[in-house]
Amino acid sequence: MSENPKDAAVTVPAQSTGTVVTKADPAPGETLLKVTGLQKHFPIKKGLLQRQVGAVRAVDGLDFEVRAGETLGVVGESGCGKSTMGRLITRLLEPTAGKVEFEGKDITHLGVSGMRPLRRDVQMIFQDPYSSLNPRHTIGTIIGAPFKLQGVEPEGGIKKEVQRLLSVVGLNPEHYNRYPHEFSGGQRQRIGIARALALNPKLVVADEPVSALDVSIQAQVVNLLDDLQQELGLTYVIIAHDLSVVRHVSDRIAVMYLGKIVELADRDLLYKTPMHPYTKALMSAVPIPDPARKAAKSERILLKGDVPSPIAPPSGCRFHTRCWKATEICRTTEPPLLELRPGQQVACHHPENFADQAPQDTVLLTDAKEAAELVSEEALAQSAATSAAVAAEVGATEEPAKAATEAEPAEASGAAEAPATSEASATSEASATAEASGTSADEEPPAKEK
């Protein structure tokens, strides 16, 4: 857990460009893993000749870094590419494009033998503790396998080391000779963790480490991961769909949608003031174990429909087909992942809780209006109000020159408030007709000029 993540966030990727591999552990906060432009497209082949007719763009351009000692959480819904990402950074999959650097060394295209020394430093924990352990091997063999594969003879012999690992993860060292089926799900996940820890790795990538476990067991494993990090100074990338678990374990969190990171921020910033509408919707969808909120349906943003297919992702911002704030620019221009606030990177033209990035574009898409029906008016009003307030603040304090931005976002958020003002409804009607009549909606900007 890095003590001062904000400091680290500002660092330019300078020290990571060197090609010399330093065997010494990187100091906490230094970049351990750096990913640039990472892509993985799975080709779809059809017909007799198996021609490629398209590709599942599972991961489609990721940039992020993992700092030594921290936990990076990765959340997203199924099909967002988070598991593929995990397999790419551990090099279980070959990237289509982009670069993965570990401790400054480019490992993107290392072969099997080139990866071998790295396999010690990067380990993976899998979701399913039932299928990831070979049922025919004793757990002694399973946990000892990494030593044999790497040709490492630990002090005091493999058996002793395996027993030490067993006790580290909270299992009885005497169970060395038992088989996986003799253990419960939670215990098997501990075995998987012990195996991952065997070679004293620097980076552990855990793909849904607790989602197959019962609630009470989940907590045991989460706590175990926590303890191990503190004792061994591990760095984690934890991939999960459960936002509460991710919040609990992570220092920073990346939110993925359709192969892209839409928001990457320090934990508290992300949960207190999410900027990407998708992040906001995702968090509001989590059921809260508090019956008093049963009636409070208004707090929830319901996204309509399903995640679009990663074979043909929507143009521009990939979330625009389900976003209640989407405007023309969202359909045409892909928003870059920008650090709008120290420690919070967002890819959005109209972020929540922050100044609008495309304030001139105020006309909502028809999709957005349908989506807005599913967003409670309170939520809309609240989001509009906070954006306006933040915009005012930003406009007033930091850039007084651009006073114009102050007014326009406020206006924009007024439009988002939908049926409140007649003016707003007029604009939305205009956009509706524009959408209905014109096939090329790109040519209709006059609606917002007043």
173: number of Cβ within 10 Å: 15
Q: Return residues touching other proteins (CB under 8 A).
A: 47-48, 77-78, 184-187, 214-220, 222-223, 226, 241, 243-245, 247-248, 267-268, 271, 281-294, 297, 300, 302-304, 306-307
- For other proteins, the closer of residues 187 and 413 by Cβ is 187
Size (the chain), residues:
450
- For other proteins, the closer of residues 302 and 426 by Cβ is 302
- 85 in the Ramachandran plot: left (φ > 0), alpha (ψ -120 to 50) or beta? alpha
CA distance 323 to 279: 11
Q: Least distance to other proteins from the beta carbon of 287, Å?
A: 3
- For other proteins, the closer of residues 99 and 304 by Cβ is 304
Q: Least distance to other proteins from the beta carbon of 46, Å?
A: 9
Q: Least distance to other proteins from the beta carbon of 214, Å?
A: 4
Q: Least distance to other proteins from the beta carbon of 246, Å?
A: 9
- For other proteins, the closer of residues 153 and 299 by Cβ is 299
- For other proteins, the closer of residues 21 and 302 by Cβ is 302
Q: Least distance to other proteins from the beta carbon of 322, Å?
A: 9
Q: Least distance to other proteins from the beta carbon of 289, Å?
A: 4
CA distance 248 to 232: 19
Pairing relationship of beta strands 235-239 and 203-207 according to DSSP bridges: parallel
Determine contact, residues 354/270, Cβ cutoff 8 Å.
no
Tokens standing for residue 131: 């299928």
Residue 7, amino acid: D
**Helix-, strand-, coil-residue percentages of the chain, each rounded to 5:** 45, 20, 40
- For other proteins, the closer of residues 32 and 246 by Cβ is 246
Contacts for 255 with CB less than 8 Å, ≥ 6 apart:
75, 76, 261, 262, 263, 264, 270, 276, 278, 279, 282
- For other proteins, the closer of residues 89 and 243 by Cβ is 243
Q: Least distance to other proteins from the beta carbon of 185, Å?
A: 8
CA distance 242 to 211: 8
Q: What is the DSSP letter of 291?
A: G
CA distance 375 to 389: 20
- For other proteins, the closer of residues 122 and 224 by Cβ is 224
Q: Which long-range contacts (CB under 8 A, 24 or more apart) does 160-164 make?
A: 161/198, 162/194, 162/198
Q: Least distance to other proteins from the beta carbon of 172, Å?
A: 13
